[in-house]
Amino acid sequence: MINITFVIAGNTPGAPTPAIYIDAAKRFVKTYVDFPADYEHRLFLVNSNGGYTPEIADIFRNVPHEVIEYPASGWDIGAHIFAAYLMKPDDWIMCFSSWAHFNRRGWLRAFVDARTKFGDGLYGSTSSFERNPHIRGTGFFVRCERMHRYPHGCNSKEESWEFESGPDSLSQWCLRQGYGAWLVTPDTVVPLEKSRNLPNIYRRGDQSNILTFDKHTDIFERSSEKERKMLSRDAEGYVRRKKLSRRIKSWIRKFLAAPPRQSRAPNA
């Protein structure tokens, strides 16, 4: 079985207020319906600290789903790990942050096809070499058993960063265990170490070579040419920082204050 997890953020300490995620939830539902996964799965909404309000429930009223209660402080990554522990080891999980959205159908089918071709491993829609080469922490696809065996918990924002891009991230841990780590695009599948060689990927070009989208792909799309160059250099690993610069934090604040953009249909 394949399980999709989408985090409904609530009153996590240090996180934005739950109201800011209303439009993001609406966009997720619209694009989830408009661009079908094309493969059988179950959708789980992870109710992180009370985010699954009556308003959110109404947004999802016509979308079959189940709810998992997550009351801890590990942000989206902690919520995904928690959800994975409630699933069978041989199930697969595809994890999405609160800002996830789609713009082409068959996104899950592409990941299943990649798994069929390359076998067990970690697969993702986007990669980055910021800090360390890694599959990013949203839009990633992995067997639940790998999440069960991953040796580090996640109970804070800082620990979620370590899970995603630290020296013992899920990506690096999977590689050391002998599993592959792969970037899955609409046209090809490449190993993590070659993932930054492709055009129009995360923080490069028009980002059209991506299967699923999120907050940071949106930020890049909205940024100026100068800002894009800085963000691109970060993703390439030229600038290795543990904290975002004040300027990037400012862009994120601007993004959070603006309503989410609607996904565009891909060119025919």
The reply to whether 59 falls in a domain is yes
Q: How many domains does the chain fold into?
A: 1
pLDDT at 164 over 80: yes
Residue 91 lies in a domain: yes
Q: Which range marks the domain in which residue 174 is found?
A: 2-257
Q: How many helices (H) and strands (E) in the chain?
A: 10, 12
Give domain status of residue 202, yes or no. yes
pLDDT tens, position by position, 45-102:
999 999 999 999 999 999 999 999 999 999 999 999 999 999 999 999 999 999 999 9
Kindly state whether residue 89 falls inside one of the protein's structural domains: yes
Position 249 in a domain? yes
Could you tell me if residue 266 is inside a domain? no
The pLDDT of residue 18 is above 90? no
Q: Report yes or no on 93 lying in a domain.
A: yes
Q: Could you tell me which residues come within 8 angstroms of residue 61 by beta carbon, excluding any fewer than 6 positions away?
A: none
Give the CATH number, domain containing residue 75.
Answer: 3.90.550.10
Q: Are 91 and 3 in contact (CB under 8 A)?
A: yes
* Model confidence band, residue 26 (pLDDT cutoffs 50, 70, 90): very high
Nearest to 49, CA basis, from 88, 78, 92: 78
- Give start and end residues of each alpha helix (H) in 99-204: 107-118, 144-149, 157-165, 170-176
The pTM for the full model equals 0.88
Residue 162 lies in a domain: yes
In tens, the pLDDT along 193-251 reads 999 999 999 999 999 999 999 999 999 999 999 999 999 999 998 544 444 555 666 66
